[in-house]
Amino acid sequence: MSTYQTEQEKFWAESFGDDYIGRNQGDQLLASNLNFFTKALNQAGRIDSCIEFGANIGMNLKALKLLYPGIAMKGIEINEKAAEELKEVIGSANVFHGSIYDTPKEMSAQLSMIKGVLIHINPDMLPNVYEKLYNSSEKYILIAEYYNPAPVTIPYRGHSDRLFKRDFAGEFMDRYQDVELIDYGFAYRRDPAFPQDDITWFLMKKKG
């Protein structure tokens, strides 16, 4: 993959995305993710299938596999090295290596989720990603990101225009009127047992 619609895609597909892999894995992260999804998906009951946008090497999906044995999983990942590792977790046939913007329309699951990825999306492309999240969901949508009431841009590891905070879930629900909020919460980076990266999560459900 050599052409991108935004600078943010190129940023994550290349060396910075490669380096991210080493910083975001290990037993502590898996334990924190288990705790996170136990809380975030409590109101959803049993989850039989999920699709994750920006799955990286599958640390979130590994946790879901432990929580829901037998769950069918799919993942979208732009970074080639991460996508190769992801294939070892969920199988090559279940991985789409490419931009979220190019996710095939036929990819769907009971739960569509995105965690720590919308904050790195070019704001002009958010409607595209919201549409992918909505269309790929058969019932539930989980958005877990940095939250801010109004859109802001902040420096990210010495780079500008690479980290954006806003009310992603609020925008999503405003856009899709048949989606309702059923639970939400916060995971703190200073949690003594199960730290996350100051993530605010929102579990939504399609009505009907």
Q: If residue 84 lies in a helix (H) or strand (E), which one and from where to where?
A: helix 80-90
Q: Which CATH number fits domain 7-115+122-147+167-206: 3.40.710.10, 3.40.50.1820, 3.40.50.150, 3.90.340.10?
A: 3.40.50.150
Distance of CA 85 to CAs 89, 91, 115, 166, 194, Å? Answer: 7, 10, 18, 30, 24
The CA distance from 203 to 68, in Å, is 17
What residue segments make up the domains of the chain, in order of their start?
A: 7-115+122-147+167-206
Q: What is the pTM of this model?
A: 0.92
pLDDT tens for the chain, 208 residues long, are: 457 778 777 665 665 555 566 556 678 889 999 999 999 999 999 999 999 999 999 999 999 999 999 999 999 999 999 999 999 999 999 999 999 999 999 999 999 999 999 999 999 999 999 999 999 999 999 999 999 999 999 887 666 667 899 999 999 999 999 999 999 999 999 999 999 989 999 999 999 7
